[in-house]
Amino acid sequence: MKRKNLMTPGPSPVPSFLREALAKEIIHHRTDEFRSILADVHQGLQNLLFTKNPVVVLSASGTGAMEAAVSNLFSKGDKVVAISGGKFGQRWTEIANNFSLDVIEFKINWGNAPEPKKLEKVLNENQNVKAVLTTLCETSTATVYDTESIAKIAKSAGAISVVDAISGLGQDKLLTDQWEVDVVVSGSQKGLMLPPGLSFLSISDKAKELLEKSDLPKYYFDLKKAISKHETNDTPYTPAVTLVVALAAALDAINKEGVKARWEKFEKLAKAAQSAAKALGLTILSSRPSASATAIKMPENIKSSQVVKILRDKYGLSIAGGQAQLKDKIIRIAHMGWINAQDLIACFSLLEAVLKEVGHQFKTGSSLMRLEEVIYG
């Protein structure tokens, strides 16, 4: 009978109106009915991404769309800069390496964001860089990167910008066309409030030119085919129909509330979470915290995996610990998609209970007081 709550940075909770959409009777994908739904999805994604570029829907989780970007935009030996400041930046490097690109890994400390000046230097020192592969919100450190500056620097160097916005989209500000971002990759299971299984990719005219030159093998993720099918609101292969139907409902709800209004809401929740953590004598990992999730360092004597475990086993609340080099060092609390202020208040209340249990000292209720101050003003 334990009630469960999900505040991990993906999957994030799926509201009942979308779970009902997922349970609808299945329809065939080669029909006007489905094409009309896919047309709404295409338009809704353009609104969410602030772009006029086509946004294609792929039936795969986010990593599939990251691979699609690499295998469709580049050729063997192409030089790319991959910004690597966490697990998902590393993934760009891994994919690009697997596809035999010449990868310049621009490493930054986990928890930091790339400094534009330093990126500029890397691009000045290396000629013929085809692209900068970067991340909107690096989920493993809950850090938002200055995507506007990164895209500008890439453009000045004659490179395209390819942004993994899987966890950030919907919470962290992203103005695709205004910032001249060439390719944005995202997925269904974070800000879009859906289960995993769909990913998206927006493609600028400049990126489209690269598709023509690419010599890397692909089939399922062939973006030229996907773009040509996009024009008639179709897909090259059988799409994940139910997820697409639910996505139309999710985009409708998000666009009705307003994407910019939602950015403000999540920015406020993020500020509140940061402030609440400090009230407990804890520090924030990131030098540039994301609006999508908050990474909080645990005191030296407390293993974060223990905190995560007690929260889940005793109270039914799932948050995330740290990955790789941050294992046992941080906890990560998501505020994305369907998660709201009540969830955050309940989360910090349970966190206080668990921190007390593991021996951390602080003033009872102090984090909740800070949350209320920031959220209600």
Nearer to a second copy, 108 or 245 (CB): 245
- The answer to whether 237 contacts a second copy (rule: CB under 8 A) is yes
Identity at 359, one-letter amino acid code: G
- The answer to whether 243 contacts a second copy (rule: CB under 8 A) is yes
- The answer to whether 219 contacts a second copy (rule: CB under 8 A) is yes
Between CA 113 and CA 237 the distance in angstroms is: 38
Nearer to a second copy, 235 or 274 (CB): 235
Nearer to a second copy, 280 or 311 (CB): 311
Is-contact 179 152, C-beta < 8 A?
Answer: yes
Q: Alpha helices, DSSP H only, in the chain?
A: 16-22, 32-49, 62-73, 87-98, 116-125, 147-156, 205-213, 223-230, 241-257, 259-279, 304-315, 341-357, 366-376
Between CA 147 and CA 266 the distance in angstroms is: 18
Output the six-digit token pair for 158: 């004659």
Question: Rounded to the nearest whole angstrom, what is the least distance from the CB of residue 372 to a second copy in the complex?
Answer: 28
**Which region among 118-126, 149-157, 214-222, 270-278 touches a second copy (by CB under 8 A)?**
214-222
Distances in Å between the alpha carbon of 48 and those of 52, 108, 180?
A: 11, 29, 15
Beta carbons within 8 Å of 371's beta carbon, 6+ residues apart: 272, 273, 275, 276, 341, 344, 345, 348
Nearer to a second copy, 175 or 253 (CB): 253
Using CB under 8 A as the binding rule, the residues of this chain from 41 to 70 that contact a second copy are 59-64, 66-67, 70
Using CB under 8 A as the binding rule, the residues of this chain from 80 to 139 that contact a second copy are 94-95, 98-100
- The answer to whether 217 contacts a second copy (rule: CB under 8 A) is yes
For a second copy, what does the binding mask look like between residues 21 and 40, x meaning CB under 8 A?
A: -xxxxxxxx-x---------
- The answer to whether 287 contacts a second copy (rule: CB under 8 A) is no
Is-contact 251 40, C-beta < 8 A?
Answer: yes
Is-contact 147 177, C-beta < 8 A?
Answer: no
Which position among 19, 155, 229, 271 is part of the footprint of a second copy (CB under 8 A)? 19
Question: Rounded to the nearest whole angstrom, what is the least distance from the CB of residue 334 to a second copy in the complex?
Answer: 11
Question: Rounded to the nearest whole angstrom, what is the least distance from the CB of residue 10 to a second copy in the complex?
Answer: 7
Between CA 36 and CA 171 the distance in angstroms is: 27
- The answer to whether 20 contacts a second copy (rule: CB under 8 A) is yes
Contacting positions for a second copy (CB under 8 A)? 4, 6, 8, 10-11, 13-14, 19-20, 22-29, 31, 59-64, 66-67, 70-71, 94-95, 98-100, 187, 189, 195-197, 216-222, 237-243, 312, 318
